[in-house]
Amino acid sequence: MPVIKTENISKKFGELKAVDEVNLGVEKGSLFGLLGPNGSGKTTMIKMLTGQIKPSSGSAKVLGIDPVKEGIRVREVVGIIPEQETPPSFLTSGEYLSFVAKIRKIDGIEEKSDWWFDYLDFADKKDVLCKDLSRGTRQKLMFAQAFLHDPEIALIDEPLINLDPVMQRKVKKFLKDYVESGNTVFLSTHILEIAEEICTDFAILHKGRLLHTGKTDELKEKGMHLDDFFMELVERS
């Protein structure tokens, strides 16, 4: 039984078809990579799945909840890292996590946020305004807020893009452990090396259309690399 499922989901912005009749199923406990070039519709997919925008047609279910009808409920149970790491400019990092905790009604925030500050190694930035943080530190903060309430599913949009190699390794390990404990990750990225390394399943999106879905292990068994496979598909379409 998939925890995320879409049926012919589409989104049009004026004349532009950002997502075009996509059918997806994401199984519980998988680290699912939604791959595609810039502008292929990955972010639009995440926004539709979390009820931030409404699809033009088709439907979706996340943990059995319809994001069109119950967008708030979906956003309550999942964790999200949006495409742009934009925490509110005039809150400090610590205040921002406290803000998220209050909105999500999470108890014991002090302890939880301290764990994240230590784990992602930015405790010295706890009292610094978000606008004065580097992009990498903002990315860490956005990562922390997404997992603060221990969600069953995390939908994360390019979460590693601004992180240094040390932190990337740490985050990748976290995601693998998170999935191994029965949770699900829906990762949107165009960095194929990362997807190949950590994803169990993947789908390739190009110009809003779904080109392929499959398992990374199957590719490895065939002796293929994800980036070669990706290039071949995208160039052919």
The yes or no reply on residue 220 touching other proteins (CB under 8 A) is: no
Q: Which residues, numbered 89-108, are part of the site for other proteins (CB under 8 A)? A: 89-92, 94-95, 98-100, 102-104
Integer Cα distance of 190 and 201 in angstroms:
15
Q: Would you say 57 and 48 are in contact if contact means Cβ atoms under 8 Å apart?
A: no
Q: Which residues, numbered 62-91, are part of the site for other proteins (CB under 8 A)? A: 71-73, 75-76, 80, 82, 84, 86-91
The yes or no reply on residue 52 touching other proteins (CB under 8 A) is: yes
CA 204 from centroid of its chain's CA atoms? 15
- Please, which residue, 5 or 125, has the CB nearer to other proteins? 125
Token duo for residue 149 = 């309430």
The yes or no reply on residue 127 touching other proteins (CB under 8 A) is: yes
Considering only residues 8, 16, 27, 54, which one is a binding residue for other proteins as defined by CB under 8 A? 54
* Of 17-25, 123-131, 186-194, 203-211: span binding other proteins (CB under 8 A): 123-131
DSSP, residue by residue, 8-54: EEEEEETTEEEEEEEEEEEETT-EEEEE--TTSSHHHHHHHHTTSS-
Q: Would you say 48 and 60 are in contact if contact means Cβ atoms under 8 Å apart?
A: yes
CB of 72 to other proteins, least distance (A): 5
The yes or no reply on residue 215 touching other proteins (CB under 8 A) is: no
DSSP, residue by residue, 59-70: EEEETTB-TTT-
Q: Phi-psi bin for 39: left (phi > 0), alpha (psi -120 to 50), beta?
A: left
Considering only residues 63, 106, 128, 233, which one is a binding residue for other proteins as defined by CB under 8 A? 128
- Please, which residue, 41 or 94, has the CB nearer to other proteins? 94
CB of 6 to other proteins, least distance (A): 18
Q: Which of 100, 90, 181 is nearest to 143 (CA)?
A: 100
> Which residues of this chain interact with other proteins, rule CB under 8 A?
50, 52-54, 71-73, 75-76, 80, 82, 84, 86-92, 94-95, 98-100, 102-104, 127-129, 131-132
